[in-house]
Amino acid sequence: MTELTDLTLTQALDGLRARTFSSVELTRAFLERIQQVDPLIHAFLTLTADLALQQAEAADKARAAGDDKPLLGLPLALKDVLSTQGIETTCGSRILKGYVPVFNATVVQRLYDAGMVMLGKLNMDEFAMGSSTENSAFQITRNPWDVERVPGGSSGGSAAAVSAGMALGTLGTDTGGSIRQPGALCGIAALKPSYGRCSRYGLVAFGSSLDCPGPFGRTVEDVARLLQVIAGHDPLDATSVQNPVPDYVAGLTGDVKGLRIGLPKEYFIDGMQPEVEQAVRAAVATLERLGAEVIEISLPHTDYSLPVYYLIAPAEASANLARYDGIRFGPRVEKGEMWPTYKATRRQFGEEVIRRIMLGTYALSAGYYDAYYGKAQAVRTLIKRDYDEAFKQVDVIATPTSPTTAFKIGQNTDDPLQMYLADVFTLPASLAGICGLNVPCGFDNQGLPIGLQLLGAAFTEEVVLRAGHAYEQATDWHTRRPVVRHEA
Ligand code: GLN
């Protein structure tokens, strides 16, 4: 018999509905798996085992009484950037150690309302700044496919937990790639929704014009089920849109006949790992065999995405992080007077966060605002227009998610620019506010997963999900599971 922790979220839901097992049995299996495997992976910052078992018991009772909420009794876990009422929320930072929110983020509340069983909070780069989860103040999460390598970031804990079978699904956030890139490096399905599709209320802010919460799952269908629950307008977030939420699961028809797929020449660059390019081109050929039409396109401003992102995101971060003053949140380093207290408290930020605050403050300062921040905003519009033009010709754009497979722990930590390059293929879509899905599409010769990125116009999640699902039906990459073992 397959282990309960090997099931997909959809299979687990079928099992609960058929009474093959209970939510308590399912939840116990996941708690046991976490106990066995997490000492090697280090994905969880907080485990809420008692809460999980209580919720599982309640879910079983509710089901027996005829309740069938969309996620009833399914064990899930959340990136520690999402506010959880009564559960510590650190954002991977010492400056929020011990902070216990008095409210739930909207996306969290929606998961609770849909019946999820809450397993705990997952590790991340401090304030979601990073591409490897090595910037967490607390621990380094390891890639389940090779524990000497990073899981990607900043939602590395969320990706590693699903990949290693420690949760049926998780939520992460994507500001410049932090859902899609760890999804690729850990070999699972991962969706960055369009900006405004899912509420940011209660998501600890990094770059407010870029931040998007979104789901990780073993399959595209699992991701669609989670998106269904968290998507939709929220009166508490003025940037969340009113657009109706389609039925994402019903949209997974397996059919891509006539779908127009754009292949942008700017995304196949020198220096990318040859196996990544081969796997992505092979994946596009598979979609073509299934009836899609492949069209070469150009997104001419792609090259500017990295500098533009590293002006805008730090500028917004420098404003958002001003609130951590030791007065309102987290631990205070008391120095008697206000300014010394403020300064000493803010020394708790890690190196990368300090770097971003300095970059952002500089870019926004009088005399430099127009030259840096203003210019970056203008070029951001050009990047968005490239996509607007492209989506007149095509329905979906196919690219690699990451230029390389998972890198070694420590490999890029002394070279911030090298680390920033990990997101070179995910940043442009973030700046344009469009949606993007990672789907596993192969392995390199070291056995590390490779990801295909499918981008869609804003609020066409159903289109990228349909394409990703059809690709999954024709391939078996998503069925491979890592064997977690400690090599050191
Ligand atoms: N790696 C990028 C950064 O460090 C993106 C992070 C993210 O999407 N949260 O800013």
Enumerate the domain spans of the chain.
4-266+277-298+385-479
User: Candidates 82, 126, 133, 178: which one to mutate for ligand 1, based on the most atoms within 8 Å of Cβ?
Assistant: 178
Confidence at residue 110, expressed as pLDDT on a 0 to 100 scale: 98
* CATH for 4-266+277-298+385-479 (3.40.50.460, 3.90.1300.10, 3.60.15.10, 3.40.50.300): 3.90.1300.10
Which residue has better confidence, 485 or 327?
Answer: 327
Ligand 1, closest atom to CA 420? 1
Confidence at residue 488, expressed as pLDDT on a 0 to 100 scale: 42
- Cβ atoms of 141 and 41 within 8 Å: the answer is yes
Confidence at residue 330, expressed as pLDDT on a 0 to 100 scale: 84
Give the position of tokens 């090595």: 134
Residue 175 CA to ligand 1 center (angstroms) comes to 6
Residue 8 CA to ligand 1 center (angstroms) comes to 28
Residue 412 CA to ligand 1 center (angstroms) comes to 14
- pLDDT band with cut points at 50, 70 and 90 for residue 23: very high
What's the whole-number mean pLDDT along residues 76-80? Answer: 99
Confidence at residue 329, expressed as pLDDT on a 0 to 100 scale: 82
Ligand 1, closest atom to CA 210? 8
pLDDT > 50? residue 148: yes
| Residue identifier of the C-alpha nearest atom 10 of ligand 1 | 129
Confidence at residue 486, expressed as pLDDT on a 0 to 100 scale: 58
Residue 206 CA to ligand 1 center (angstroms) comes to 9
pLDDT > 90? residue 189: yes
User: Candidates 91, 154, 208, 352: which one to mutate for ligand 1, based on the most atoms within 8 Å of Cβ?
Assistant: 154
Q: Which two tokens stand for residue 96?
A: 């929020």
Length of the chain in residues, anyone?
488
Q: What is the DSSP letter of 179?
A: T
pLDDT > 60? residue 487: no
Percent of the chain with pLDDT over 70: 99
pLDDT > 90? residue 168: yes
- Cβ atoms of 221 and 11 within 8 Å: the answer is no
Residue 179 CA to ligand 1 center (angstroms) comes to 9
Ligand 1, closest atom to CA 309? 10
Confidence at residue 469, expressed as pLDDT on a 0 to 100 scale: 98
The CA distance from 62 to 144, in Å, is 35
Protein residues whose CB sits closer than 6 Å to any atom of ligand 1: 128-131, 154, 174-178, 206, 313, 423
What's the whole-number mean pLDDT along residues 153-157? Answer: 98
Average pLDDT of the chain to the nearest whole number: 97
Residue 172 CA to ligand 1 center (angstroms) comes to 12
The CA distance from 82 to 121, in Å, is 9
Burial of residue 187, with CB atoms counted within 10 A of its CB: 0-12 exposed, 13-18 middle, 19 or more buried? buried
Ligand 1, closest atom to CA 178? 8
Q: What is the DSSP letter of 302?
A: G
CA 421 to chain centre: 17
pLDDT > 70? residue 1: no
Q: Which residues are catalytic?
A: 79, 154, 178
Give the model confidence (pLDDT) of 333-349 as tens digits.
999 999 999 999 999 99
| Residue identifier of the C-alpha nearest atom 5 of ligand 1 | 176
Ligand 1, closest atom to CA 313? 10
User: Candidates 123, 175, 191: which one to mutate for ligand 1, based on the most atoms within 8 Å of Cβ?
Assistant: 175
